């Protein structure tokens, strides 16, 4: 190109196209395994791990699988194993989200053929993970009552892409002055089609409705 001529190449390539391809590969793998996969997203401190401990104890066909994305420690995976889950930790280091390749590698470490439910506990972060498809069939966003009822309006992308929303730590709602009606109103506004379940890890029976939703097979058709 020594003549210095410039020309324009039209590409129209999605920036996340490589991740999308990796996610599509995961999705096919999940389907082959007959595995329901849920990507669980929230802010830090929303209580996802405690909730999953309860789910692991209550799921009718144990064990469940959990892939935990965490910045540094493997503390959460240990807790989940103690609750009976099969669990792998992905230490993301300075990365603020999981991507599809990290999930693919973690899946290889789980004996996934024996599982029927896999939960990917994403890194606590309200912005970054939303853009990355991991190959999951369904996304679940978690809002803890301690975060306040206006969170869905501040971070609409997270909630708008969710197939269901959990209002967690619901037993603390009155104590922290959480406005239930406003929360449901705000969630309907940004995620009109997502069912909302109020749950609390301290009241295991509160998980029943969400578990029934999880039991409905989704995206595993021929």
Partner 1 sequence: MHELALIQELCALAQAAAEQQGATRITQLWLQVGDRCGVDADALRLAFAVVQEQHCWRQTHLNLELVPTQCRCHRCQQPYRPEDVVALCPHCGGLECDRLTGQELTLMAVEVA
Assess 221 for contact with partner 1 (CB under 8 A): no
Assess 157 for contact with partner 1 (CB under 8 A): yes
Assess 216 for contact with partner 1 (CB under 8 A): no
Name which of 49 and 186 has its Cβ closer to partner 1: 186
Name which of 87 and 92 has its Cβ closer to partner 1: 92
Give the per-residue contact string, 7-26, with partner 1 (x = CB under 8 A; - = no): xxxxxxxxxxxxx-------
CB of 46 to partner 1, least distance (A): 18
One-letter-per-residue 3-state SS of 72-132: CCCHHHHHHHHCCCEEEEEECCCCCCCCHHHHHHHHHHCCHHHCCEEEEECCCCCCHHHHC
The whole-angstrom separation of Cα 205 and Cα 184 is: 21
Assess 94 for contact with partner 1 (CB under 8 A): yes
Assess 188 for contact with partner 1 (CB under 8 A): yes
Assess 130 for contact with partner 1 (CB under 8 A): yes
Half-sphere exposure of 114 (CA within 13 A, CB side): 10
Chain center to CA of 145: 18
Assess 192 for contact with partner 1 (CB under 8 A): yes
Query: In the numeric block, which tokens belong to residue 32?
Result: 């082959």
- C-alpha distances out from residue 179 to 75, 176, 191, Å: 33, 9, 18
Residues that bind partner 1 (CB under 8 A): 1, 4-19, 94-97, 127-128, 130-132, 153, 156-157, 188-190, 192-193
């Amino acid at each position: 190109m020594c003549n210095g001529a410039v020309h324009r190449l039209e590409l129209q390539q999605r920036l996340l196209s490589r991740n999308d391809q990796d996610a599509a590969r995961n999705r096919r793998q999940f389907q082959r395994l007959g595995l329901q996969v849920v990507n669980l997203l929230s802010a830090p401190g929303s209580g996802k791990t405690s909730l999953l401990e309860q789910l692991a104890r209550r799921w009718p066909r144990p064990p469940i699988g959990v892939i935990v994305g965490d910045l540094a420690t493997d503390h959460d995976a240990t807790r989940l194993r103690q609750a009976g889950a099969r669990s792998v930790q992905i230490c993301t280091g300075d990365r603020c989200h999981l991507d599809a390749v990290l999930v693919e590698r973690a899946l290889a470490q789980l004996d996934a053929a024996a599982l029927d439910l896999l939960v990917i506990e994403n890194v606590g972060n309200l912005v970054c993970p939303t853009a990355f498809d991991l190959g999951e069939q369904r996304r679940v966003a978690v809002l803890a009552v301690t975060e306040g009822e206006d969170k869905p309006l501040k971070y609409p992308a997270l909630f708008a892409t969710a197939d269901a929303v959990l209002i967690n730590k619901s037993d603390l709602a009155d104590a922290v002055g959480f406005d239930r009606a406003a929360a449901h109103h705000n969630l309907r506004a940004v995620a009109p089609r997502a069912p909302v379940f109020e749950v609390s890890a301290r009241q295991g029976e509160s998980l029943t409705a969400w578990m029934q939703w999880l039991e409905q097979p989704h995206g595993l058709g021929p």
